[in-house]
A and B are shown apart, each in its own frame.
Chain A
Amino acid sequence: MPGYQIDPCEKCEEAMQGYLDRVLSDAEVAEAEAHLAGCSSCAKRYRFEESLRQFVRKCCEEEMPPELKAKLASLRTPL
């Protein structure tokens, strides 16, 4: 029905999280990839999302304080 079709970029946006989490069906993956191959605007946003995820992970890395490690070891049952 003309006028009721979903915007393909909007559909691609909806598919992004599932695509990057690798939980889409083969058909959904194929559909997203077909759109991405011809749409540089969506492709850019997918690449951005990937680098954002990596960046968030990097920013949240925090070493465990060594004293805590020692404390945990001291909780072990004595032999």
Chain B
Amino acid sequence: MAGRKAKAEELQRGAAVAAILKRRGDALVVTGIGNAVHDVAASGDVAENFYLSGIMGGAAMVGMGLALARPDRRVLVITGDGEMLAGIGSLATIGVEKVPNLAIVVIDNRAYAATGMQATHTARGVDLAGIAKASGFNHAVAVSDAAGLRAVVDDAYEKPGPYFAVLRVKSEGSPRVRVPADGTFTARRFRRALLGDEMNP
């Protein structure tokens, strides 16, 4: 593993996320902090998106809480490699709990794109899909081309979870799009979409 260099990748992050979200149906989406927020919002800012812009490493567990509370809905966590690495221990919890309706998609550009493109550990060969597999995820893949992405587009919604996919994308950030910046608004909009008039307390 040590010293392994990342290969040149073909996937473009925004297009890859758009392809996945195009068939989201009624899936609930949680983003990790950073460029994943913009990738998801660029595909449509809808109430069923929860942009977790506040904390590194928290997205997977927020997704797990949602998935346990709403087993009738697919929950998709879309996050970056840096954010996933910050919450890497959560993969063990999700894996052993076998949450069937939870899918995690990691956009792996091997860098902290939001803060200046500092290299993450995936740039040095850390295998996130391997960690997920060893943690008990039912499916864990890493893809870097169009054929692999096509499989993820289907499997993220159809494979019994927990499902984990790494999208190896070009090492770049994302174009900024307008995203609701107010956390309270985002949370209440999301709850209202899920719970309607039953949202209180």
A and B are interacting partners = no
Q: Which residues of B contact A (CB under 8 A)?
A: none
